[in-house]
Structure 1
Amino acid sequence: MIDNDLLEDYLHFLKIERGLSINTIKSYRQDLKHFISYLNINSVNNFELLDEDTILNYMKHMNENNLSRNSIIRSVSTLRKFSKYLVQFKYIDDDFMSKVDTPKRAQHLPAVLTTEEVDKLLAVPDTSNKYGIRDRAIFEVMYATGLRVSELVHLKLEDLHLNVGLIQTLGKGNKERIIPIGDVASKWINIYLNHSRSILLKNRRSPFLFLNAHGSGLSRQSIWQKIKKYVSLAGIKKNVTPHTLRHSFATHILENGADLRIVQDLLGHSDISTTQIYTHISNHRLSEVYDKYHPEI
């Protein structure tokens, strides 16, 4: 069996030489004790016998025992430091972690609104006044096109081609793209142009489509504040930002059968791997619906 004395020597080294906190050392101890227990169960009784395959099998063991991705990453990091210590003080000749890659952290799926939540949000602005009409038009455009908030605030009158159902925008890297815009969003843009924009403009001139109370273009921060305000009024509990409408747009059109390459073009992604996150979201949402409504057998 593996001798625990070496483990205690290492933890003492971390405390005295490295000055690590009690909690950090406690975490190291826990990770290494689990590892040593695994080695003992599998009749590995000497650190000199460790190699890449042993570590990969241990990582598989942790995964099969439902350890979280972050716990596995932490454990691999602990083993990497421990292996370097063993080499440094001549307990072993070869670093058994040298060929082992650290697992990537789990990718956090961005928040997405359901279609019902989108409807709630769109219905909140009071469209009996100029600001409510403007805000409704903003949200309709964001959800209908997936524009980034930076693209939205720089949208100009000359970028509108509503007669053919298109708008154009200048995205990241100054890449221009043409985006279809649906009838509903087009309708609200026209209502805004006919009933709000000229009032907000106050006999001034501005190339920008969406204006603030002073007749100037809106800022990204102002869009963020409006989203937070209306999300609260809609009673939506999710953490919603302007980018959430972009995520929701992409997810919903994928769920309705759009090709991934088309979504990539609509969003202005240079790399399709960036767009693929939305397939994960769709699958995740599908699993949630299945778990909620499928009867247990």
Structure 2
Amino acid sequence: MNLFLQLFVEYLQIEKNYSKYTIEYYQDDIQEFYLFLTQQSINKLDDVEYLDARLFLTSLHERNLSRATIARKISSLRSFYRFLNRDRKTSENPFALVSQPKSEKRLPKFFYEEELESLLNVCEGDEPLQVRNRAIFELLYATGIRVSECERLTLTDIDFSLSTILVKGKGNKERYVPFGGYAHDALELYIKQSRNILLKDQEHSTVFVNFRGAPITSRGIRHILTELINKASLNGKIHPHMLRHTFATHLLNNGADLRTVQELLGHSNLSSTQVYTHVTKEHLRKTYLNHHPRA
């Protein structure tokens, strides 16, 4: 079974060109299913039947996992078996008829302008790490790039003359994204003043580095943003991805068209971007109710 998983991972890497993060999710989901099979004394993937798949789905619900997580796991296993069927490693796909839970329609959360000001205020400081943190924050808000895309950014990806960055997104798709004056100044200050101090004796082209001088990881960037959010004492459940949501919401609120926002975010489908129109409509509705005398 481990050999089949390895072949599937190679298929995702070479044929599907999936990112390492997506592949890690697939691996985790399949290995979790392997553990379930061991508990059920099932030794071969071809021995798994529809009822076994249903039982696995029930076990996921009993753990009170979110609908999105359960849907992802079922989708991972359906794709895994589809691959095995294609290569004649198994004869049936027990997950083909397993229904996925409908995803929860939750609007993406974003920062209001006063909340952004609070976050920017706690970014102040002249220490190398403070200058770096400011640059990360300004760039994420200015471009809407994912944390994983920020992690992969190299010095040659930045064009200061045009104020654009070359972003390597999901599936290694590339796109150019502009950034404004605040991000330009913060990024330039970091690269010229703080990056060399943080690098110490190391040499590499990754833009953002940790306190040891090594390329920063996505987990490191999330930790920095979480610390800034905590320091700003903002209320509610907040996560770093909200900067991306904020970028899109503020653009649409200020008149940007949906296709442009789609391209800037790197969404393959317009439907992924359309969720932000619901956010802006809700914002308009609340503004209307709060300010119109006859609302």
When the two structures are superposed, what TM-score results if normalisation uses the length of structure 1?
A: 0.63
Match of 1:225 among 215, 223, 226: 223
Q: CA distance change for structure 1 residues 294 and 161 in 2, over 3 Å: closer, same or farther? A: same
Aligned to 2:236: 238
Q: CA distance change for structure 1 residues 104 and 202 in 2, over 3 Å: closer, same or farther? A: closer
Q: How does 1:119-138 map to 2 (within 5 A)?
A: 119-138=117-136
Offset at residue 239 of structure 1 (A): 2.1
After superposition, give the CA deviation of every residue in 1:155-201 in whole Å (9 maximum; x if it has no partner).
10010001111110110111000001111101100110122100001
For residues 276 and 269 of structure 1, the distance between their equivalents in structure 2, rounded to whole angstroms, comes to: 10
Contact 1:144/1:185 (<8 A) preserved: yes
**Root mean square deviation, CA, Å:** 1.8
Establish whether residue 145 from structure 1 lines up as the match of residue 151 from structure 2: no
For residues 241 and 167 of structure 1, the distance between their equivalents in structure 2, rounded to whole angstroms, comes to: 24
Contact 1:111/1:238 (<8 A) preserved: no
Secondary structure of 2:224's aligned partner: helix
Contact 1:160/1:167 (<8 A) preserved: yes
Aligned length: 196
Which structure is larger by alpha-carbon Rg, 1 or 2? 1
After superposition, give the CA deviation of every residue in 1:54-100 in whole Å (9 maximum; x if it has no partner).
xxxxxxxxxxxxxxxxxxxxxxxxxxxxxxxxxxxxxxxxxxxxxxx
Q: How does 1:18-37 map to 2 (within 5 A)?
A: none
Identical aligned residues as a percent = 42
For residues 103 and 280 of structure 1, the distance between their equivalents in structure 2, rounded to whole angstroms, comes to: 22
For residues 148 and 273 of structure 2, the distance between their equivalents in structure 1, rounded to whole angstroms, comes to: 19
Aligned to 1:276: 274
Establish whether residue 292 from structure 1 lines up as the match of residue 290 from structure 2: yes
Structure 1 consecutive aligned stretches of length 4 or more whose deviation exceeds 4 Å = 102-106
Q: CA distance change for structure 1 residues 280 and 183 in 2, over 3 Å: closer, same or farther? A: same
When the two structures are superposed, what TM-score results if normalisation uses the length of structure 2?
A: 0.63
Q: How does 1:7-86 map to 2 (within 5 A)?
A: none
- Structure 2, unmatched stretches of 5+, are 1-99
Offset at residue 285 of structure 1 (A): 1.4
Offset at residue 104 of structure 1 (A): 5.4
Establish whether residue 159 from structure 1 lines up as the match of residue 157 from structure 2: yes
Aligned to 1:26: none
Match of 1:196 among 191, 194, 197: 194
Q: CA distance change for structure 1 residues 197 and 105 in 2, over 3 Å: closer, same or farther? A: closer
Match of 2:265 among 267, 270, 286: 267
After superposition, give the CA deviation of every residue in 1:23-69 in whole Å (9 maximum; x if it has no partner).
xxxxxxxxxxxxxxxxxxxxxxxxxxxxxxxxxxxxxxxxxxxxxxx
Secondary structure of 2:176's aligned partner: strand
Aligned to 1:213: 211
Secondary structure of 1:291's aligned partner: helix
